[in-house]
Homo-oligomer: A and B are copies of this chain.
C-alpha cells in the first residue's frame, strides 16, 4: 500500500519536496515541469518518479504570480442571458469550448454580463489579467465590452462576425450566406416557386447574411424580388409565429418558407398548422441551425447545420494562437444542408 499521506489534506507537496525526493534542485524540477528542455534523462526520470510518489500537483497561483499568465480563459456572454441559454446551439458551443480547452489543461471560466453592473465588474476582472483571453459570445452589434477588451489588448475571439467593429477582432463563424443559398436553391430545385423567408434580427450578422443569401439566389434564378415574401423575426418561436401570420396575410400563395432559425421555424409551423396549410404538401419549410428543435418539430425540419463543434474548436485554436502572440484571424466554416420531412 503506497497510501503515503493520502487523504491527509495537511500540506500539499511543493516543488521543493519533489526536488529533495528526486535528489535534484528546484530548478531542475521546474524545467521538467515546463517541457523538460535542458534536463538529462536521468534527472527527468528521477523527477517524474518523485512527482508520482509525492503526488505533487503544481500550484497554479504561485506559477501565475510570477509568469503573469493565468492559464485560464473566460467564456463571456454579454447577451440578455435567457435568450442564449435557451438556445441549444449555445450549449454545444459551450461544451465544445470547454472540451477543446481541457485538451490543453486550461480551465474555462463562465462569465455572464447581462446587466451594466456585471459588465463593469467583469471587464475589470478580465483586464486585471485574471484570464489570458476571452471567448466572446454576443450576437448583437456594438458591444461595448468587446471594444473595451480589444482596446485593453486582451486576446479575444468572437463567435460570429461582430458587425460594427471596423477594428481587428478575431472571429469564427459559419458561412451563413452560403447556408442560406443552399437552402433556397434546394427549395427551388424541389419545385417551389413562391419562396418566402422569415429573417433573423437585422442587427445580427446572421440575420443579415442569411437574408442576403436568400436574395442572391432568387436574383440568380431570375425571380423578381417581392417584399411581401420577406418578414422579420427575432429568433424566437413566438416571433416566427407572428412573422408567418404576416406572411400568410401578405402572400397567401406562398409554397415555401426559408426560416432563419429552427426555433422560429417551430413558430412558423404552428401558424401554418392553424391556417390549415399542410407541411410539406402545401408549404415547404426550411430552417437554420439544426438545433434539437428541428427534431422536436413535427414534421422534423429540413435545416442548415452549423458546425458548432468545429466552431468551438476553432475559437479555442484561434484564441490560444492569439495568446501565443499571433495576429487576429477570421475563420469561416462551411454549413451543411440536412434533409428531413418538412420539405
Residues of A within 8 A of B (CB): 7, 9, 12, 57-62, 64-65, 70, 72, 75, 81, 85-86, 88, 90-92, 94-95, 98-99, 102, 105, 107-112, 118, 121, 124-125, 127-130, 151-153, 266, 292-293, 296-297
Residues of the B chain whose Cβ atoms lie less than 8 Å from the Cβ of A91: 85-86, 90-91
Chain B residue at minimum C-beta to C-beta distance from A112:
B98
Residues of the B chain whose Cβ atoms lie less than 8 Å from the Cβ of A58: 128
- Looking at the assembled complex, report how far the CB atom of A107 sits from the nearest CB atom of chain B, in whole angstroms: 5
Q: Contact: A9 with B62, CB < 8 Å?
A: no
Contact pick for A92, options B72, B75, B85, B112, CB 8 Å: B85
Residues of the B chain whose Cβ atoms lie less than 8 Å from the Cβ of A112: 95, 98-99, 102
Residues of the B chain whose Cβ atoms lie less than 8 Å from the Cβ of A59: 65, 128-129
Chain B residue at minimum C-beta to C-beta distance from A127:
B57
Contact pick for A110, options B7, B108, B266, CB 8 Å: B108
A130 in contact with B94 given A7-B151, A105-B121, A296-B296 (CB within 8 Å): no
A107 in contact with B98 given A61-B61, A61-B70 (CB within 8 Å): no
Residues of the B chain whose Cβ atoms lie less than 8 Å from the Cβ of A72: 109
Please, how many angstroms separate the alpha-carbon atoms of A129 and B55 in the complex?
13
A86 in contact with B88 given A64-B61, A128-B12, A152-B7 (CB within 8 Å): yes
Contact pick for A129, options B12, B102, B128, CB 8 Å: B12
